[in-house]
């Protein structure tokens, strides 16, 4: 693998200035994970420890790709001593050459005294119309109208729009001609990887399994892959698609604090983030007066942050231009048609719950009124459910190795020239009457995810199906909620057929399966057969949709809401990954009511959070028992040497807590080596089998004021299956 070529000595900031005596804050691991070793082996010189970036980011207000450019030159190794020395070098460079706004006067004085000096700053360039020459502006240094050569502008066109971070040597010399600026740019180098070898990248990719490669990419964007489910990883990696797919339009709405704009603002020098309410047609497309092309002509991805908000003023003419561009990749400059390849990403916050929006309105509810336009929204290729993304917390960040972000950004930019939209057609056929825009939408998403996960082209049929199903779900969400605001749109299903066995798969969104009473449109699929014990509206009845692709189009008998689950019945429920709205009460209450004895068999009530799950299960049972009655609950579990002491202490505390209550809790350790299955049985004749046991929720931020701590249905699920069987009694 080719290493990034370091800049010439003359372009590298001098690192000789002593640093303050603050210690290096990065913790240096004594052992590397197997994945980290594999990353270093296959991508030498192109990776960096992500916690180093995080540590430096605390004190330097520069994009991550600026920091990682420097870290990649000094710390791209697994040698702790070299890393420590490299961190010191990078800190010295930033301390000496990065321009803080409040130190701008001091830096200008240094340039004057020394005659020339190198600075790290963001530089933008504008054309002086009257003089016919270019002038640069330094964002933090505060210098304006600094002459810059035509040659530099031609080589770095993005200086003309938005600006780029550079290492720049600035000189100061007073001229006898007062009209000549004393400030001059001696040299300028954008902070970016200078070379990428795409063929070497593809060869190295082939050495990783899909799970390993997902881990590499997750660590590259700064996250610990072990903290995310597979669907959670896909939702994060979906945010990279606009950087590798031309003219891709992505909408993501969700709660605050889930990192929606992180990738667009920090990950790539080819993307720019703007406020959704601070853009004009001239800035975004073309200034007809000057002829200057706007952002879409220079950036691979334009992200509209804070896109939602009813109080925001929106220019209707801008919306109309955006509709044409998003559909046709073109816009007008007077009478001339121009085209561009920039993708558009729209990020915004929602204030209502998913269930509320499904029941009372639609998912576009929080957008400014002028954007709640069916023609505009129909241009979206995908709607990412931001409510499924966990809020950012410390434990989600990675301290493993990942790509220098500028390197992977260049790889993604190269992948924009490739096309995977038809890769699925060898094994799958779209069988529903989807519109051209629907098919274009999920095919572009599919293509983008293929480029990110399988750029080398080696992918199994099952992996292709996973991406196709996921992509169709994201486009279905766009269409389903357009139907709620515009009845003229045609209603249809999203379905594909496997050519191997001829079976059709209907793709539904998780929220349609989770809230069938609120979801629209109503589906006409055949009802699943039951065993004769089901009753209308009871848990276990519902609609089945054939699928093996994961959690997007899943087989489900649709657990009914607890308000309808009055009569227990046999059946099967699939809890989708990364969804909310599930609780022990919803899943078990109807089958446990009336019991006098309950036995829980779960070999994994060992860790603290698993013991907490047991406590919450008992609390739910306690609420079901009428006053004056009581119930016995017995737990059979297992232990190991690492957890046995704390496990015993926790379970004894739980038993003590329920002493004298309506629930008599006892527990025992079972030592059978074949104890794997997890179940709940009652003396009323029900057996509930659980593939994950009670451990069906993802980790969450606890605390006295955490809603997830208090309410199970506010937690994200890990994905699980529950089966209800009548075994006698009752």
Q: Which domain CATH number covers 413?
A: 3.40.50.300
* pLDDT band with cut points at 50, 70 and 90 for residue 730: low
* pLDDT band with cut points at 50, 70 and 90 for residue 192: low
* Assigned token pair, 179: 């009209």
Q: Are 162 and 243 contained in the same domain?
A: no
Cα–Cα distance, 118 to 93 (Å, whole number): 10
Which of 128, 156, 190 represents a domain boundary (last residue)?
190
Which of 172, 190, 208 represents a domain boundary (last residue)?
190
Q: Are 348 and 242 contained in the same domain?
A: yes
Q: What average pLDDT does the chain have?
A: 84
* pLDDT band with cut points at 50, 70 and 90 for residue 58: low
**pLDDT for the residue 94:** 87
Model pLDDT for residues 376-400, shown as the tens digit of each residue: 999 999 999 999 988 888 888 898 9
Cα–Cα distance, 68 to 57 (Å, whole number): 10
Q: Give domain status of residue 16, yes or no.
A: no
* pLDDT band with cut points at 50, 70 and 90 for residue 60: low
More confident: 194 or 6: 194
* Assigned token pair, 46: 């192109």
**pLDDT for the residue 70:** 85
Q: Give domain status of residue 509, yes or no.
A: no
Q: Give domain status of residue 148, yes or no.
A: yes
* pLDDT band with cut points at 50, 70 and 90 for residue 190: confident
Q: Are 137 and 255 contained in the same domain?
A: no
SS3 of residue 165 by DSSP? strand
Find which of 15-24, 501-510, 574-583 is predicted with most confidence, using mean pLDDT: 501-510
Q: Give domain status of residue 699, yes or no.
A: yes
* pLDDT band with cut points at 50, 70 and 90 for residue 23: very low
**pLDDT for the residue 520:** 60
Q: Give domain status of residue 127, yes or no.
A: yes
DSSP classification of residue 329:
S
CA distances from 605 to 245, 394, 565, 613, 664 (A): 45, 26, 28, 8, 18
Which of 134, 157, 190 represents a domain boundary (last residue)?
190
Residue 196 has pLDDT above 90, yes or no: no
Q: What are phi and psi of 406, to 5 degrees?
A: -70, -30
Name 110's bridge partners.
Answer: none
Q: Are 181 and 202 contained in the same domain?
A: no
Q: Are 168 and 279 contained in the same domain?
A: no
Tell me, what CATH number does 155's domain have? 2.40.50
Pick from 426, 427, 551: nearest CA to 498 = 427
Q: Give domain status of residue 598, yes or no.
A: yes
CA distances from 280 to 277, 285, 534, 608 (A): 9, 8, 58, 53
Model pLDDT for residues 198-216, shown as the tens digit of each residue: 999 999 999 999 999 999 9
* pLDDT band with cut points at 50, 70 and 90 for residue 545: very low
Q: What are phi and psi of 210, to 5 degrees?
A: -60, -45
* pLDDT band with cut points at 50, 70 and 90 for residue 513: confident
Find which of 264-268, 370-374, 379-383, 715-719 is predicted with most confidence, using mean pLDDT: 379-383
**pLDDT for the residue 28:** 44
**pLDDT for the residue 448:** 98
Are 96 and 14 in contact, with CB atoms under 8 Å apart?
Answer: yes
Averaged over 618-643, what is the pLDDT?
90
Per-position b or e across 115-129, b if 16+ CB within 10 A of its CB: eebbbbbbbbbbeee
């999203």: which residue's tokens?
Answer: 494
Are 140 and 60 in contact, with CB atoms under 8 Å apart?
Answer: no
For 140, counting Cβ atoms within 10 Å of its Cβ (0-12 exposed, 13-18 middle, 19+ buried), the class is: buried
Read off the pTM: 0.74
Q: Are 343 and 229 contained in the same domain?
A: yes
Q: What Rg, from alpha-carbon coordinates, does the chain have?
A: 29
Q: Give domain status of residue 426, yes or no.
A: no
Model pLDDT for residues 70-126, shown as the tens digit of each residue: 887 788 777 888 888 888 888 888 888 989 888 899 999 999 999 999 999 999 999
Tell me, what CATH number does 657's domain have? 3.30.870.30
Q: Are 147 and 161 contained in the same domain?
A: yes
Residue 551 has pLDDT above 50, yes or no: no
Provide the total of helices (H) and of strands (E) in the chain, helices listed first: 23, 24
* pLDDT band with cut points at 50, 70 and 90 for residue 2: very low
Q: Are 240 and 372 contained in the same domain?
A: yes
Find which of 49-63, 299-313, 419-433 is predicted with most confidence, using mean pLDDT: 419-433
Pick from 560, 558, 594, 583: nearest CA to 729 = 594
Q: Are 408 and 272 contained in the same domain?
A: yes
More confident: 639 or 416: 416
Averaged over 129-136, what is the pLDDT?
91
SS3 of residue 154 by DSSP? helix
Averaged over 29-50, what is the pLDDT?
86
* pLDDT band with cut points at 50, 70 and 90 for residue 319: very high
Q: What angle do CA 315, 321, 322 make, to 5 degrees?
A: 90
Q: Are 413 and 396 contained in the same domain?
A: yes
Are 605 and 637 in contact, with CB atoms under 8 Å apart?
Answer: yes
Domain range enclosing 256: 196-418+448-455+477-486
Domain count along the chain: 3
What percentage of the chain carries pLDDT values higher than 70?
Answer: 87
What's the CA dihedral at 165, 166, 172, 174 to 10 degrees? -70
Q: Are 414 and 271 contained in the same domain?
A: yes
Q: Are 248 and 357 contained in the same domain?
A: yes
* pLDDT band with cut points at 50, 70 and 90 for residue 583: very high
**pLDDT for the residue 393:** 82
The DSSP annotation for 494-553 comes to -EEEETTT--EEE---HHHHH-TTT-SSPP-PPBPP--S---TTSBTBSB-----S-SSS
Q: Give domain status of residue 235, yes or no.
A: yes
């Amino acid at each position: 693998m080719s290493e990034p070529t370091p800049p010439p000595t003359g372009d590298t900031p001098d690192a000789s200035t002593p640093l303050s005596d603050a210690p290096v804050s990065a913790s240096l691991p004594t052992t590397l994970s197997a994945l980290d070793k594999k990353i270093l082996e296959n991508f030498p010189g192109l990776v960096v420890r992500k916690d180093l970036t995080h540590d430096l980011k605390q004190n330097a207000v520069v994009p991550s790709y600026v920091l990682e450019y420097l870290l990649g030159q000094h710390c791209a190794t697994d040698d702790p001593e070299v890393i420590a020395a490299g961190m010191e070098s990078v800190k010295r460079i930033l301390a000496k050459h990065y321009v803080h706004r409040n130190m701008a006067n001091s830096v200008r004085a240094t340039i004057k005294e020394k005659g020339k000096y190198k600075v790290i700053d963001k530089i933008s360039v504008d054309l002086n119309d009257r003089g016919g020459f270019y002038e640069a502006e330094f964002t933090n240094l505060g210098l304006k109208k600094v002459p810059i050569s035509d040659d530099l502008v031609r080589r770095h066109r993005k200086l003309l729009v938005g600006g780029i971070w550079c290492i720049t040597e600035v000189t100061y010399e007073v001229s006898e001609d007062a009209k000549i600026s004393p400030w001059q740019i001696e040299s300028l180098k954008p902070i970016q990887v200078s070379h990428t070898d795409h063929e070497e990248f593809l060869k190295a990719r082939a050495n990783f399994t899909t799970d390993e490669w997902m881990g590499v990419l997750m660590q590259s964007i700064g996250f610990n892959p072990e903290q995310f489910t597979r669907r959670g990883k896909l939702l994060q990696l979906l945010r990279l698609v606009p950087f590798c797919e031309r003219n891709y339009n992505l909408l993501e709405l969700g709660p605050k604090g889930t990192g929606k704009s992180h990738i667009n603002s920090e990950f790539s020098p080819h993307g720019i983030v703007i406020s959704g309410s601070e853009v004009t047609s001239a800035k975004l497309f073309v200034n007809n007066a000057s002829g200057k092309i706007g952002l879409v002509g220079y950036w691979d991805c334009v992200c509209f942050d804070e896109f939602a908000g009813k109080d925001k003023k929106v220019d209707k003419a801008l919306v109309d231009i955006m509709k044409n561009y998003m559909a046709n990749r073109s816009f007008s400059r007077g009478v001339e048609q121009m085209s561009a390849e920039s993708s558009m990403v729209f990020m915004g916050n929602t204030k209502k719950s998913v269930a509320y929006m499904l029941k009372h309105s639609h998912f576009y509810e929080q957008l400014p009124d002028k954007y709640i336009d069916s023609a505009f929204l129909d241009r979206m290729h995908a709607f990412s459910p931001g409510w499924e993304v966990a809020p950012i917390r410390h434990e989600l960040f990675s301290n493993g190795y990942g790509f220098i972000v500028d390197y992977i950004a260049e790889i993604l930019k190269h992948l924009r020239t490739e096309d995977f939209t038809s890769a699925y057609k060898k094994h799958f056929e779209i069988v529903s009457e989807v519109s051209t825009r629907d098919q274009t939408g999920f095919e572009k998403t599919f293509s983008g995810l293929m480029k990110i996960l399988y750029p080398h082209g080696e992918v199994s049929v099952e992996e292709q199906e996973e991406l196709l199903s996921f992509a169709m779900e994201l486009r279905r969400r766009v269409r389903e909620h357009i139907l709620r605001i515009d009845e003229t749109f045609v209603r249809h299903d999203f379905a594909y057929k496997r050519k191997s066995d001829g079976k059709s798969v209907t793709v539904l969104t998780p929220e349609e399966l989770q809230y069938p009473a609120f979801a629209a449109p109503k589906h006409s699929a055949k009802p699943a057969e039951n065993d004769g014990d089901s009753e209308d509206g009871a848990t276990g009845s519902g609609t089945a949709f054939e699928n093996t692709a994961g959690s997007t189009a899943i087989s489900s008998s649709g657990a009914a809401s607890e308000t309808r689950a009055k009569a227990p019945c046999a059946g099967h429920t699939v809890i989708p990954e990364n969804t909310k709205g599930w609780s022990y009460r919803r899943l078990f209450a109807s089958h446990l009511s009336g019991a006098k004895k309950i036995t829980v068999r779960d070999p994994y009530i060992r860790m603290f959070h698993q013991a907490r799950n047991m406590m919450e299960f008992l609390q739910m049972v306690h609420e079901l028992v009428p006053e004056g009655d009581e119930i016995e609950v017995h737990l059979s579990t297992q232990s190991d040497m690492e957890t046995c002491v704390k496990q015993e202490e926790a379970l004894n505390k739980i038993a003590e807590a329920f002493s004298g209550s309506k629930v008599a809790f006892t527990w025992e350790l079972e030592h059978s080596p074949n104890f794997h299955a997890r179940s709940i049985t009652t003396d009323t004749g029900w057996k509930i089998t659980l593939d994950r046991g009670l451990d069906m929720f993802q980790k969450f931020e606890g605390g006295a004021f955490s809603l997830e701590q208090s309410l199970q249905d506010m937690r994200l699920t890990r994905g699980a299956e529950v089966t209800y069987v009548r075994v006698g009694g009752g």
